[in-house]
Amino acid sequence: MESNIHNYMEVLVNKRFFALEFHQIYTLDQIADMKCIALNQLPTLYIRYSLDMLAATSQKKLMQYDEMVAAAVENAEKMIVNDRRERKDDFDDIVIYRPKDRFELEDEEDPFSGTLNLD
């Protein structure tokens, strides 16, 4: 895969972590865990150039992405703060966090369901 292809949600999650100054609060291991947890709650949006993504996406959709990322990061932080691996109790009060509702795909975003002819 080309090196300039990346998941746009990673850009937004990194931006959110930087804005919340998590590097001042959490260890590198905790940050890595939170990023994985947050990204697993989000859809994957592969892009080549962020500028093209911004130009081709409506302001409403960009705001929706930001809201989704904020919710995913909040859920991830709660899971790390309540990390059962760090607690010494008997684990009776384990909390399961669920991602907030994902957005609906618009018509032009329907996943490809056809067949490819590679002759």
pLDDT digits 0-9 by tens, 88-116 = 555 555 555 555 555 555 555 555 556 65
- Residue (of 9, 5, 3) closest to 42 by Cα position: 9
Question: Position of tokens 């669920």?
Answer: 98
pTM of the model: 0.67
Amino acid at 111: P
pLDDT tens digits for 56-82? 888 999 999 999 999 999 999 999 888
pLDDT class of 16 with cuts at 50, 70, 90: very high
CA atoms within 13 A on the CB side of 62: 11
Task: Select the more confidently predicted residue: 100 or 14.
Answer: 14
Task: Select the more confidently predicted residue: 30 or 91.
Answer: 30
Q: What pLDDT score does 118 carry?
A: 58
- Cα separation, 60 vs 73, in Å, equals 20
